[in-house]
Amino acid sequence: MPIAAGFEDSEFSVLRDRLSAAGHHLVLLGARAGEKVTGRKGSVSVVIDAAAQRLDPDDYDAMFISGGQAADALRLNRALVAFVRRFMATGKPVAAICYGPQLLIEADAVSGRTVTSWPSVRTDLVNAGADWVDASVVQDGNLVTSRRPDDLEAFCTALLGKLASASSASP
């Protein structure tokens, strides 16, 4: 999970808890390993596990991009954007909620894809070549997107379904 200060607290916490309950381990990626970052509401603080420039997409099963102000800040990290681009090319599950698709735009990963997001990101997605729809969750191949924290239940269910399908398909 790419993360920076200002992430949406509930989107991080709910997905972390759901992934953990399903036996998955969340690795936090950012500018500097060991850096402590806090959510935009201040209720959650986490420590970044790994710096993006040292990562290999083959070492991970899926990617989750939270919303909040973090997504916009992450767009400025060239190593992280390059990692997201390489990860998208693997075909492994990628999930982005709320403002999270901003990072996918920066990685040139939405052209020709059907997605959703927080409403204010719509024009940016359309300008990047995506087909934007207003739905609680949208699945397009390996990509899962949602609009807002109210969509977390459907979003988590869709991502966990993608993870289950991916693990049953691997040898």
**Phi, psi angles (nearest 5°) of residue 161:** -65, -40
Q: What is the pLDDT of residue 54?
A: 79
Q: Is residue 159 part of a domain?
A: yes
Q: What is the pLDDT of residue 170?
A: 59
Work out how many domains the chain is built from and give that number: 1
Strand partners, 137: 146
Count of CB atoms situated within 10 Å of the CB of 167:
11
Query: pTM of this prediction?
Result: 0.94
Contacts of 168 (CB under 8 A, 6+ apart): none
Distance of alpha carbon 155 from alpha carbon 87, whole angstroms: 20
Count of CB atoms situated within 10 Å of the CB of 27:
13
Strand partners, 47: 36
Q: What is the pLDDT of residue 169?
A: 66
Q: Is residue 169 part of a domain?
A: no
156 an active-site residue?
A: no
Per the prediction, the chain carries an average pLDDT of 94
171: confidence class by pLDDT, cuts 50, 70, 90? low
Q: Is residue 4 part of a domain?
A: no
160: confidence class by pLDDT, cuts 50, 70, 90? very high
Q: What is the pLDDT of residue 108?
A: 97
Q: Is residue 74 part of a domain?
A: yes
Residue 167 reports pLDDT greater than 80: no
CATH number at residue 52: 3.40.50.880
The domain of 58 spans 9-163
Catalytic residue from among 37, 98, 121, 160: 98
Residue 168 reports pLDDT greater than 90: no
- At 3-38, the pLDDT tens digits run 999 999 999 999 999 999 999 999 999 989 999 999
Q: Is residue 93 part of a domain?
A: yes
